[in-house]
Amino acid sequence: MIRNYFKIAFRNLWRHRVFSFINILGLSVGMSACLLIYLYVSFELSYDRYHAKGDRIFRVVTNIKTPTDTLDWNSASIPMSPAMKKDFPEVEQFVRIEPNSLLVSRGETKFQEDKLAFADSSLFSVFTLPLVKGDPDKALAAPWQVVLTETSAKKYFGTAEPVGQTLYLTGSRLPATVTGVMKDFPDNSHFKYDILVSMTTWTQKINPGLDDQWEGFNGFAYVLLHDAKDAPGLKAKLPAFIDRHIGKDLQKAQMTFTLDLEPMKDIYLRSKRGAPESGSLPNITIFSLIAVFILLIASINFINLATARSAERAKEVGIRKVVGADRKQLTGQFLGESVLLCMISFLMAVGLCALLLPLFNQLSGKTISHGIFDHASTIGILLLIAITIGLFAGIYPALVLSGFRPIAVLKGSFSSGKKGILLRKGLVVSQFVISIALITGTLVVYSQLTFMRNQDLGFSKQQQLVINFDGDSTIWQHYEAFKQQLTSLPNALSATASSAIPGQGNPTAYSQLENHLGVMQPTNMELFSIDYDFIKQYGIQIVAGRPFSTGFPSDSTRAILVNEEAVSTLGYHSPQEIIGKKFSQWGRQGTIIGVVKNFHFRGLQNAIKPMDFRIRPRDFSFVTVKISGRDVQKTIAAAGDLWRRTLPNRPFAYYFADEEFNKLYRSEDQFGQLFLNFAILAIFISCLGLLGLASYSTLQRTKEIGIRKVLGSSVGGIVNLLSKDFLKLVWIAFLIASPLAYIGMHKWLQDFAYRIDMDWWIFAMAGMIAMLIALFTVSFHAVRSALANPTKSLRTE
Amino acid sequence: MIKISDLQKVYRTEEVETIALNKLTFDVKEGEFVAVMGPSGCGKSTLLNILGLLDDPDGGSFLFNGTEVAHFNERKRADLRKRNIGFVFQSFNLIDELTVFENVELPLIYLGVKGPERKQRVETVLDKMQIMHRRNHYPQQLSGGQQQRVAVARAVVNNPKLILADEPTGNLDSSNGNEVMQLLTDLNEQGTTIIMVTHSEHDSRYSHRIIRMLDGQTVTENILV
């Protein structure tokens, strides 16, 4: 019996190739989209789950409250976690990780290591990060010890034995011994480094005294508890802990520190404080929904086409009933057919996925999977899902078909499932609701991206060639001379040095500024150290006072410029009022000499915060050369030559300020691209279904079309007749989709401090796009049947 | 074999109520060949539906081999049907996606007959109908007469006690028509009861008895033999 079902199923699929093709194509594309999203989502959810002790690991984070604001930081200062271990028996162990960027060399092999970190040796026992060579207890215990990942070991030593060899940190000055080689960090780790240097190197050798600095926040601290259940109790003891250690200092500075413990497994997706790598729970939710929607659309196609075609199958049903089939057997047969179809689609989907995976990895910006066949259990689950879809999508058609009255069908007095029409229309509407909502979403995402790229940032980022010298003392000690040489390069207009470039992070300096009441108010200021030419070269406007000038010797030590945001934070009504007021910041005292117009020194996701500029060559890390834009390559080559002559030890690292700034939007870009692709898929599958349905309904109305043509209807009239019904459905879908899309995208936009308004035209455009695509799809058949010779269609009746 | 009394069937739509069978009463003995005649809309098809256990009556009694089947549920009806009743239609009603052999095999599959026995029984009946050489063809590749022979083969392959024929010659030319009527007569002579709905006076003369219907009732019964 089963064999007979399969035989019929296969022959049916073959006989109705077009319908089968539409179904299989739609389902397999839908399933592969789902499969990819599934891999993506499960990868995102798998972050940091590989640590055997993961449940007991917590990140120590700090909230810093000043009279003006609260900073929710993801870091803890160096002494905090060791003190916690000492004070609390609940704490089994701590690990501190201090990210840094150093020039590392071995003879002539030199690399600027941006992914370097100082770390405690407990890293290997707290986290599940196995060493391939070396002793985990001792590898990072003493100063000047280095552990390499397998990849970086190969980079420096090739096939030679790395353990026991010497590497030089910061160029050639600081020798360190390789004491171990570890496996590369897993892809799904919220922190990844290429080189680890012992923490004692940092706290005792490079920055002696750091062990007692409770107020410096740069790195991360993790604690391993004996029992995860102790966490709430421990948290409750932390305020007293802070008070005991630095209560007095904080009181004097009018600050409070509040420590918190974040569970390891929540850091990547749920922490609002961020991490070296962090994911987005809303995005995962959005993509999961999209996956379900796409599958839904494909399944709807299946149901629609199957019921629409029921009239064709009716005869077979009648015959089978007459020769003895009962309803159960028929239901089984049709379910079998739909499962078969789903299985074929599933196989194609797996193949398609295998092909698309590298592309998807690229699109999502990470290696979510090295090959889908690595995930046998995943594929097993998906196979089950495919069968379930087959059963679900098949159950309605199966029930409809098996319920036919055989004699009516066999005698030809059967009218093709009038009752199914409303359901089919409902399903088409829901498909288009999803499609239109996705199109709207895509338009909103891209409008926001365009807005962010084109928004006036308040500084000039064009033609700014940025050279990163990583604070090398050779440069900042002689930077005036170096600047001179840079400005004399071909096509170079000017040059300036600074601690950071707009778009990158700055240190937050805890400062005291005189407010409108004449009181020294503690304020967190983002701090840029710059030279005299920075303001001018970056086109930052002065709204009050004056920029730094070499004519005022005190400018280099006793003056700052603040932004408008700082002015209003301090309670002044106009920028003029703050000129001449006092400040005290990181060991410097003096007066505010000018106010700059607010500019975006961070991406448009973030609101502009109070900041200030000061002159301090020691902090310089970047030189920016403004170039004319003519023959850029020549300028770069000349700068490279100059670099190699000045700093032969250091690789020449450069980029353009505008490109770098746009990188701040990379994750939004990726989100947009993924969104766009899936929206296209959704509308494609919807249209496949529409195409099938339209061709079917056109087929059914062949006689009507014939009669209308005989009576004098024009081709246009017929196309209109056939398209009208479908367009009405799209219109209804538009009315439902628009508010849904508005709500969803409104929520998405909340993540951006500076965002677009969702104008009516975005919705109108989404509706128009859907309408046009639907019209095009439907009229494909409508035109063909409208042009057909009417006598032909009438004779066949 | 069949005894129906006061059989009633009413079709209702929103506005119209059509009485298809109005207290119909007659019986058919085992081994009989009965023709049912009457104008379009007189209830012939409804009667055939009910006799074939494809539909249930709204009232009255239907004894099949002494069992009251009027209120059997769908499962029981399907079971009784596949063991006892064969159908032959005007428009042949073969499944286009199946070959001649597979079409004839179908009732045996639903009866649960095992493969080798199925093969043997199908071949026997195809041989008898003289379409063995066409066993691997699809219905569209056959002439009307051949298709109807396949349909008859399918109707008799499970050795039913009753064959219901609905205008079996309606789509055939006269020589093919006569051939099919001859097949039915042969089957009847071998003991199968046949009830045939027809418009054709010519075909009706093959039967033993003609029941004439009008407006859901029998008007006359002519005994021919």
Residue A49 lies in a domain: no
Least Cα distance to A287 among A550, A91, A580, A41 occurs for: A41
Compute, in degrees rounded to 10, the torsion defined by CA atoms A98, A104, A110, A116.
-20
Q: Backbone phi, then psi, for A614, in 5-degree steps?
A: -145, 170
Going by pLDDT thresholds of 50, 70 and 90, the confidence category of residue B125 is very high
Could you tell me if B133 and B165 are in contact, meaning their C-beta atoms sit under 8 angstroms apart? no
* Helix residue ranges per DSSP H, A60-134: 80-87, 123-126
Which amino acid, residue B128?
K
Smallest CA–CA distance, residue B120 to chain A, in Å, is 17
Of A141-155, A162-176, A375-389, A399-413, the range with the lowest mean pLDDT is A399-413
How many contacts, defined by CB atoms under 8 Å, are there between A and B?
Answer: 79
Query: In a mutagenesis test of the A interface, which of B46, B72, B82, B85 is the best target, namely the one with the most A β-carbons within 10 Å?
Result: B82
Q: Nearest CB to B78: which of A8, A315, A326?
A: A326
Rounded to a whole number of angstroms, the distance between the first and last alpha carbons of chain B is 19
Going by pLDDT thresholds of 50, 70 and 90, the confidence category of residue A191 is very high
**pLDDT above 80 (res A591):** yes
Whole-number Å distance between alpha carbons of A446 and A437: 14
Helix (H, G, I), strand (E, B) or coil at A513: strand
Going by pLDDT thresholds of 50, 70 and 90, the confidence category of residue A796 is very low
Residue A79 lies in a domain: yes
Same domain, A584 and A651: yes
Same domain, A215 and A343: no
Going by pLDDT thresholds of 50, 70 and 90, the confidence category of residue A668 is confident
pLDDT of residue B189: 93
The answer, for B54 touching chain A at a CB cutoff of 8 Å, is yes
pLDDT of residue A56: 96
The tokens 């920028």 sit on which residue? A575
pLDDT of residue A686: 86
**pLDDT above 90 (res A195):** yes
Task: Test A407 with B52 for CB contact under 8 angstroms.
Answer: yes
pLDDT of residue A412: 56
Same domain, A497 and A543: yes
Sequence-distant (6+) residues with CB within 8 A of A371 are A354, A357
Pair of tokens at residue A212: 């007692």
The domain in which residue A597 lies consists of 464-664
Strand partners for A591: A559, A582
Same domain, A594 and A581: yes
Beta-carbon count within 10 A of A631 CB: 13
Exposure class string for A349-372: b at 16+ Cβ within 10 A, else e: bbebbeebbeebbebbebebbeeb
* Mean pLDDT along residues A225-251: 94
Q: Nearest CB to B97: which of A11, A329, A407?
A: A11
Residues in chain B with CB shorter than 8 Å from the CB of A410 are 89, 91, 93
HSE of A403, CA atoms in CB hemisphere, 13 A: 11
User: Which of A664, A683, A710 marks a domain boundary?
Assistant: A664
pLDDT of residue B41: 79
The tokens 């940092």 sit on which residue? A202
Same domain, A470 and A424: no
Percent of chain B whose predicted confidence (pLDDT) is above 70 = 100
What's the mean pLDDT when you consider all of chain A? 87
Going by pLDDT thresholds of 50, 70 and 90, the confidence category of residue A189 is very high
The answer, for A403 touching chain B at a CB cutoff of 8 Å, is no
Same domain, A200 and A338: no
Given phi > 0 = left and psi -120 to 50 = alpha, else beta, which region is B90?
Answer: alpha
pLDDT of residue A703: 73
Which amino acid, residue B81?
R
Same domain, A656 and A714: no
pLDDT of residue A239: 94
Task: Test B91 with A410 for CB contact under 8 angstroms.
Answer: yes
Same domain, A335 and A209: no
Residues in chain A with CB shorter than 8 Å from the CB of B94 are 319
Q: What is the pLDDT of residues A268-282, one digit of tens each?
A: 999 988 888 888 888
Q: Burial, A754: exposed, middle or buried (Cβ in 10 Å; 0-12, 13-18, 19+)?
A: middle
Percent of chain A whose predicted confidence (pLDDT) is above 70 = 96
Whole-number Å distance between alpha carbons of A578 and A569: 11
H or E element: which one contains A514?
strand A508-514
Same domain, A516 and A553: yes
The answer, for A326 touching chain B at a CB cutoff of 8 Å, is yes
* Mean pLDDT along residues B132-148: 91
Task: Test B95 with A8 for CB contact under 8 angstroms.
Answer: yes
Sequence-distant (6+) residues with CB within 8 A of A107 are none
Least Cα distance to A476 among A623, A298, A370, A332 occurs for: A623
pLDDT of residue B181: 92
**pLDDT above 80 (res A346):** yes
Whole-number Cα distances in Å, A692 to A17, A525, A687, A696, A774: 11, 62, 8, 6, 12
Going by pLDDT thresholds of 50, 70 and 90, the confidence category of residue A791 is low
pLDDT of residue A81: 96
Same domain, A489 and A395: no
Whole-number Å distance between alpha carbons of A784 and A173: 80
Residue A744 lies in a domain: yes
Smallest CA–CA distance, residue A426 to chain B, in Å, is 25
Residues in chain A with CB shorter than 8 Å from the CB of B107 are 323-324
H or E element: which one contains B101?
helix B100-111
Q: Backbone phi, then psi, for A424, in 5-degree steps?
A: -60, -40
Whole-number Å distance between alpha carbons of A693 and A699: 10
Helix (H, G, I), strand (E, B) or coil at A603: coil
Q: Burial, A342: exposed, middle or buried (Cβ in 10 Å; 0-12, 13-18, 19+)?
A: buried
User: Which of A242, A270, A298 marks a domain boundary?
Assistant: A270
Angle at A741 between CA A735 and CA A747, to 5 degrees: 150
Residue A275 lies in a domain: no
Residue A457 lies in a domain: no
pLDDT of residue A797: 34
The answer, for B98 touching chain A at a CB cutoff of 8 Å, is yes
Q: Nearest CB to A407: which of B49, B81, B111?
A: B49
* Helix residue ranges per DSSP H, A253-375: 264-270, 281-308, 310-322, 327-364
Residue A458 lies in a domain: no
Residue A723 lies in a domain: yes
Going by pLDDT thresholds of 50, 70 and 90, the confidence category of residue A774 is confident
Q: Nearest CB to A324: which of B78, B89, B166?
A: B78
**pLDDT above 70 (res B103):** yes
pLDDT of residue A409: 66
Whole-number Cα distances in Å, B49 to A213, A410, B81: 95, 11, 11
Q: Give the 3-state DSSP-derived string for B164-208, with helices as H, strands as E and coil as C.
A: EEECCCCCCCHHHHHHHHHHHHHHHHCCCEEEEECCCHHHHCCCC
How many domains are contained in chain A?
A: 3
Smallest CA–CA distance, residue A697 to chain B, in Å, is 22
Helix (H, G, I), strand (E, B) or coil at A148: strand
Q: What is the pLDDT of residues A45-54, one digit of tens each?
A: 999 999 999 9
Beta-carbon count within 10 A of A13 CB: 18
Residue A48 lies in a domain: no
Least Cα distance to A434 among A290, A284, A300, A299 occurs for: A290
Task: Test B74 with A327 for CB contact under 8 angstroms.
Answer: yes
Whole-number Cα distances in Å, A472 to A376, A530, A567: 51, 16, 34
Whole-number Å distance between alpha carbons of A364 and A284: 12
Same domain, A589 and A646: yes
Q: Which has the higher per-residue pLDDT, A700 or B51?
A: B51
Mean pLDDT comparison of A582-586, A679-683, B88-92, highest-scoring range: A582-586
Least Cα distance to A300 among A489, A16, A23 occurs for: A23
Q: What is the pLDDT of residues A373-422, one digit of tens each?
A: 776 777 787 788 888 888 887 887 788 777 777 766 666 555 555 556 78
Going by pLDDT thresholds of 50, 70 and 90, the confidence category of residue A507 is confident
**pLDDT above 90 (res A538):** yes
User: Which of A270, A304, A330 marks a domain boundary?
Assistant: A270
Task: Test A411 with B45 for CB contact under 8 angstroms.
Answer: yes
Rounded to a whole number of angstroms, the distance between the first and last alpha carbons of chain A is 35
pLDDT of residue A407: 65
Strand partners for B211: B36, B221
pLDDT of residue A194: 96
The answer, for A318 touching chain B at a CB cutoff of 8 Å, is yes
Q: Backbone phi, then psi, for A357, in 5-degree steps?
A: -55, -45
Residues in chain A with CB shorter than 8 Å from the CB of B81 are 322, 324
Same domain, A477 and A538: yes
